[in-house]
Structure 1
């Protein structure tokens, strides 16, 4: 897709940004239900992930959970309109914040906000950036014009957008200067700088970047999760207490602890986790692929 090809997408998102939030959310949910009925690669990935992570659930339960997930994913795509082109006030209205730490503490230590890929992660990060300084890491997309658009719109309230491949020295410098960094490390990005640790009992290729950066930046690690509220009432960004004794002396132990925390949150609203991602793309030596 070239820049010209982005025009229809931008036009659609701008229209969606001015429509009532509840209408867009309901329409996205209905569209997700329709798309789930069609055979697709993404549907296959979702069901494989659900079977691996919830082996005791029945085939019907996997289907029901997969359908609910498609509703949330497609809805989140349409809600990019308000996220990318709506005002700060419009985002503030639909995202409430509940924090177990003092976000206005001027003497706070270097902080890494550890995020997870629930469908609401993007709007949660943007909600934080409407009021407080932050840097946020992103992974470059293969489509350059779309990547540039996403980076520009996600950072439009002042968030400093940093490509994941950036030197750790720059990130450590930001941490030590007092600017918190938002980083999600729960996707399979390849075996480099990763370890295999269990995720719902399945060995998953898990990044160790948060542990390493926390050590280098002498930073506390604060988990956060953005959940979709029922009845189309928006979102809640929950910021938890810092993880105790994290980082430890072992990156493998830290990666396992991250996955354990994530599991507790997924069990609260499993339909909202990003199951369309190939979480088990890379497998330990000798283990067959699953997709």
Structure 2
């Protein structure tokens, strides 16, 4: 991204942060509907994922769900203006927080807050960082300038941003000192340190890092989900109870349980999961690719 292009992106995001949230959300949703009308690689990926995970729907149903998802995805990009450049007060007003654990417990054990790639994950992570100390893992963007901007803005309320590739030793040290880390492990990052377990009945390359970090760091694993509320009313972040008997002695068993929990949340609002990602990029040996 050249200097002018990057400057324009920053200016646009800053400008969007000054507009009413409802207007920004509607602009993003409308733009997403328009972009869905244009044939694209991402649209193809979305349709492949939906057909694999929700077999038996009609063509019209896949089309409706795909369009709704594009609305949410593009809207989430536009709402980065509010999330990256809006005030702490503005973000707090937008997000309802429901926690099933005591976030103020000074004697809480080391904790892995396990998120998932729903379209509103970013604002949920930022809200949490305003309230309590947290170390958050991230995967670098292809654009170095955008990546630097994202890391700076995501960490502006105190989150310690750690690149995923450099994280293992730092995270273990943190957990062993009783700290907390926030991460998401529901994307296909390659077959290393992963196992193939079902995701809506389809073998999915699933990271085992959550299980191993929890085992070595003596940490509980607490799932959280941030959803987009209807009628442009903002978001809701739900922090669930710790997963019982997790980790087990089996990485594969734990990976299955993570996917099962994720499935239980996706069926509540399937249009909000990140279907534009190639969730089935890697396939078991001998199984043909799908994209």
Task: State the TM-score, normalizing by the size of structure 1.
Answer: 0.99
The residue number in structure 2 matching 1:96 is 96
Structure 1 counterpart of 2:174: 174
CA offsets, 1:24-78, max 9 Å, x none? Answer: 0011111111111110110000000000000021111111000000000010000
Question: What corresponds to 1:130 in structure 2?
Answer: 130
For structure 2, list consecutive stretches of 5 or more residues without a partner in the other structure.
Answer: none
Partner SS, residue 196 of structure 1? strand
Give the structure 2 partner of residue 274 of structure 1: 274
Deviation at 1:174, TM superposition (A): 1.4
* Match runs of 1:101-112 below 5 Å: 101-112=101-112
**TM-superposition CA deviations, 1:229-284 (whole Å, max 9, x none):** 00000000000000001000000000000000000000000000000000000000
Structure 1, 128-137 or 10-19: larger mean CA deviation: 128-137
1:114 corresponds in structure 2 to 114
Distance 2:2 2:264 in 1: 41
- Tell me if the contact between 2:205 and 2:283 (Cα under 8 Å) persists in the aligned partners: yes
Q: Distance in 2 between matches of 1:57 and 1:226?
A: 26
| TM-score, normalised with respect to structure 2 | 0.99
Q: Is 1:190 aligned to 2:209, yes or no?
A: no
Matches within 5 A, 1:135-174: 135-174=135-174
Q: Where does residue 30 of structure 2 map in the other structure?
A: 30
Q: 1:23: how far off?
A: 0.3
Provide Cα deviations, 1:181-209, integer angstroms capped at 9, x if missing partner. 00100000000100000000000000001
* Root mean square deviation of aligned Cα: 0.8
Q: Which residue matches 1:68?
A: 68
1:152-179 Cα offsets, whole Å, 9 max, x none, are 1100000000000114121011122232
> In terms of mean alpha carbon deviation, does 250-259 or 143-152 score higher?
143-152
Partner of 1:203: 203
CA contact (8 A) 2:175 2:217 kept: yes
Q: Is the 8 A contact 1:187 1:206 kept in 2?
A: yes
Aligned to 1:58: 58
Residues 36, 43 of structure 1: 8 Å contact kept: yes
In the other structure, the counterpart of 2:213 is 213
Secondary structure of residue in 1 paired with 2:131: coil
- Distance in 2, matches of 1:21 and 1:94, equals 8
Which runs of 4 or more aligned residues in structure 1 lie more than 4 Å from their structure 2 counterparts after TM superposition?
none
Q: In the alignment, which residue of structure 1 is the partner of 2:232?
A: 232
Distance (whole Å) between structure 2 residues aligned to residue 169 and residue 27 of structure 1: 42
Distance 2:237 2:179 in 1: 19
CA contact under 8 A between 2:28 and 2:75: conserved in structure 1?
A: yes
How many angstroms apart in 2 are the aligned matches of 1:256 and 1:64? Answer: 29
Q: CA offset at residue 6 of structure 1?
A: 1.2
Gaps of 5+ in 1: none
Q: Give the conservation status (yes or no) of the 8 Å contact 1:120–1:227.
A: yes
Q: Is the 2:137–2:167 Cα contact (8 Å) retained in structure 1?
A: no
How many residue pairs get aligned? The number is 291
DSSP 3-state at the match of 1:281: coil
Contact 2:281 2:289 in 1 (8 A): yes
Q: In the alignment, is the contact (CA less than 8 A) between 2:17 and 2:86 conserved in 1?
A: yes
- Name the structure 1 match of 2:49: 49
